Amino acid sequence: MKMTLELAPLFKLTVTPGSAIDLGNTPIGRRFMVELLDVMIEGERINARKRQDVAAADWLLVTPDGTGLIDIRYTVETDDGALIYIHYQGRRNFTEVFDEKDAPVFIAPYFETGDERYSWLNKVQAIGKGVSFGDTRIYEVYEVK
């Protein structure tokens, strides 16, 4: 049996991180905490922005081999007032970053909401790829079908 995956565009995600707090080398790698100053989602079915009164951060771990393990959590409010919690993990090759190259970030977001208008998101598994543009990260996020 052959299985195929389809990817449907979900939204463009723009993330503006703040300064990183460097916890230093821990037993499992170098830990950074990065507050997210702004998050914007723009798509055909959803447009939203980070709630400023709720914590939003990346608890990034860079392993000894240079693999960046992304762990981001935040809450957005849609343009029509719905609240959506978003959590994603992912990976980035930091050995390329340290060689003066900007490696892409690969993420796998999932969503939680109690708002009926966006309950379809509770069933979505998404994937995305992001790159840096100055102080922001821009991702193209897709629904896996």
CATH number of the structural domain spanning residue 81 = 2.40.160.20
102 pLDDT tier (thresholds 50, 70, 90): confident
Residue 96 has pLDDT above 80, yes or no: no
For residue 2, being part of any structural domain is answered with no
Q: What is the DSSP code string of 112-128?
A: E---GGGGGGGG--EEE
Domain hosting 107: range is 7-144
For residue 92, being part of any structural domain is answered with yes
- In DSSP terms, which residues pair with 83 in a beta bridge? 77
Locate the DSSP E strands across 45-121: 47-50, 57-62, 67-78, 83-93, 105-112
As a whole number, mean pLDDT of residues 66-95 equals 96
| 3-36 tens-digit pLDDT | 899 999 999 999 999 999 999 999 999 999 999 9
How high is the mean pLDDT of the chain? Answer: 94
The domain total for the chain is 1
For residue 11, being part of any structural domain is answered with yes
For residue 1, being part of any structural domain is answered with no
As given in the structure block, the two tokens for residue 80 are 């029509």
The H helix count followed by the E strand count for the chain is 1, 9
